Chains A and B, each alone.
Chain A
Amino acid sequence: MATTGVDAPGRAQIGASTLRTDRWWIQPAFTFGVLTAFVVYSAWRVFSGQYYYASPYVSVYFSPCLATDCAEGALPGGPISWWWLSPALLTAWIPLTFRFSCYYYRKAYYRSFWMSPPACAVSEPHGKYTGERRLPLIMNNLHRYTFYLALLLNIMLTIDAVLAFRTPNDYQWGYVGVGTLILTANAVCLWFYTLSCHSCRNAVGGRITHFSKHPVRYKMWTVVSKLNAHHMMWAWISLGTVVLADFYVYLLASGRITDFVFFTV
């Protein structure tokens, strides 16, 4: 028998797709707006392939920079010589897939982009639904690999933040500009976001059945669980800091502003 969504035969024939009286659409609309803006901005920056290094700062999208023609100072630079597009494209897929397969972002885009469902007890506009059981969405089960890669990437971004404590151009240790703070904050937020990941929670201890036999991993699990409770918050904050960190570098590199320096040797 053909189904008719929430008014399928046998159920109470109520007719409305929802009877909610609150403004349930605000949240998905907001998420939709912000994520779209983020994707557009990131695509522009990643494909542009320019203005990503302003000594001593490198844009998050371009680190590690793996193409031979990377801007000088963007590390490590070099091995891939045949690449002719924006160097960001060599690495940007890592955070992209990480966030795309993130349990929180999945919720966010399933709700706000795919409207499956747009909000709780609001019916979705699709006749058929198979969830994450088929390609491509079944691939989201590989989230843990993107998590491992994201860890590596975070190490790189942390190095970038540390290197931002050097003076521009002559790279002497002992420098703090606005960019230094932004890059550091970004690295910290990314760590919080990454370590609060559900796959991380499973890996450090969640998969164990007998916590009492693994006190150290239990402790780690407890800590990650605490972070995990705020995973959504870190997902949003780190999204903001990424854009901020990149945009600041862009402004510097394109010569629109100059760095404000708090301290220098």
Chain B
Amino acid sequence: MGYSAKFKVWRGDDEGGALEDFDVDVNEGEVVLDIVHRLQATQAPDLAVRWNCKAGKCGSCSAEVNGKPRLMCMTRMSTFDPAETITITPMRTFPVIRDLVTDVSYNYTKARMVPAFAPPADLEPGDYRMAQVDVERSQEFRKCIECFLCNNTCHAVRDHEDNKDGFSGPRFLMRIAELDMHPLDTVDRRDVAVEDHGLGYCNITKCCTEVCPEHIHITDNALIPLKERVADKKYDPLFSVSSLFRKATGRDKAPETPKG
């Protein structure tokens, strides 16, 4: 049950470009990336596209299909009407390199700014003990395949190039939340989250969550809890007093529990 579909694919580079029209065959069970590959093999051998696994695992093939940020390898053609014209463009938040390929180095720069995991200095490899319930929250965030679709969609940088300096995007705020909830981490990253990574730019409008192909609850489980943890420290005198009190009375001091 193949048919011929109409495509518009953005082609160009940082000096300009345009949507180009293609008619291309579509077979049963195919995904958008298959169509792009067919274009390469038959009509446009130099059409640039980034991909690796074609199984939704590596997060390379991020692009925008009919204006929606998606993984091309996980977007089934059967979700479109055969009569529909399907538009594919590169991610619009990052500088374009060529055709569907963008320069995502922003993300790697931000990743390098997150203070690394810091276990207790005297804990030997093999002696790490963590309960499943204590690792589960961070494990959810570690499902991230770094497709950067969330950072691409977040309006704080998508619509405001000038915010890129101060804002690391949901992916790396989530990374901070992940480390903050890690049961054996010893560093408090709450100030860094606000000052270096711009937690306050996020207005919890949840677009990151909407586009995440791993279905991670970025906003509800990482960003809002991180905002709350920051509020514990920075905006909540009541809580600060009570935790000071608990520290003073030694109630909060299990030796192997660096945090909370």
Contacts and interface: CB of A to CB of B under 8 A. Distances in A.
Interface of A: 3, 5-14, 16, 18-22, 103, 106-107, 110-111, 116-117, 120-121, 123-124, 126, 128-133, 137-138, 141-144, 198-199, 201-202, 206-213, 218, 228-229
- For B17, B19, B92, B159, the residue with the greatest tally of chain A CB atoms inside 10 Å of its CB is B159
A116 B160 contact: no
B67 interface: yes
Contacts of B203: 106-107, 110, 116, 131-132, 137
Nearest to B8: A19
Given A121-B207, A138-B200, A208-B260, 13 more contacts: A8-B161, A12-B17, A12-B102, A19-B67, A20-B67, A117-B159, A123-B155, A126-B159, A133-B201, A141-B231, A202-B225, A209-B180, A212-B131
Interface stretch (B22-30, B36-44, B93-101, B111-119): B93-101
A11 B93 contact: yes
Nearest to B87: A19
Contacts of A141: 227, 230-231, 234-235
A134 B76 CA distance: 43
Given A11-B95, A19-B67, A207-B228, A5 B134 contact: no
Contacts of B183: 209-210
A105 to B, nearest CB: 10
Dominant SS at the B interface?
A: mixed
A19 B155 contact: no
Contacts of B94: 11
B29 to A, nearest CB: 23
B185 to A, nearest CB: 8
Interface in B162-203: 162-163, 167, 180-183, 198, 200-203
Given A20-B67, A124-B155, A129 B95 contact: no
A14 B92 contact: yes
B96 A10 contact: yes
Contact of A213 (B163, B220, B257): B257
Contacts of A199: 228, 231
Contacts of A228: 220
A210 B69 CA distance: 36
Contacts, number: 173
A12 B180 CA distance: 36
Contacts of A229: 220
- For A14, A110, A228, the residue with the greatest tally of chain B CB atoms inside 10 Å of its CB is A14
A144 B231 contact: yes
Nearest to B14: A10
B156 A121 contact: no
Dominant SS at the A interface?
A: loop
A106 B204 contact: yes
B158 interface: yes
Contacts of A124: 155, 159
A80 to B, nearest CB: 26
Interface string B4-38: 00000010101011010000000000000000000
A129 B155 contact: yes
B67 A121 contact: yes
A249 to B, nearest CB: 34
Nearest to B229: A207
Contacts of B207: 117, 120-121
B200 A132 contact: yes
A133 B200 contact: yes
B252 to A, nearest CB: 10
B204 to A, nearest CB: 5
28 contacts: A3-B160, A3-B162, A5-B159, A6-B93, A6-B158, A10-B14, A10-B96, A11-B95, A12-B90, A16-B67, A21-B67, A106-B204, A107-B206, A117-B155, A117-B205, A120-B153, A121-B64, A121-B207, A126-B159, A129-B156, A131-B198, A137-B203, A198-B220, A201-B225, A209-B182, A210-B183, A211-B131, A218-B133
A103 B131 CA distance: 30
Nearest to A211: B133
Contact of A6 (B159, B163, B260): B159
Contacts of B14: 10
Contact of A129 (B163, B220, B228, B234): B163
B78 interface: no
A13 B16 contact: yes
Contacts of A128: 160
B188 to A, nearest CB: 11
Contact of A10 (B95, B158, B229): B95
B89 interface: yes
A15 to B, nearest CB: 9
A20 to B, nearest CB: 4
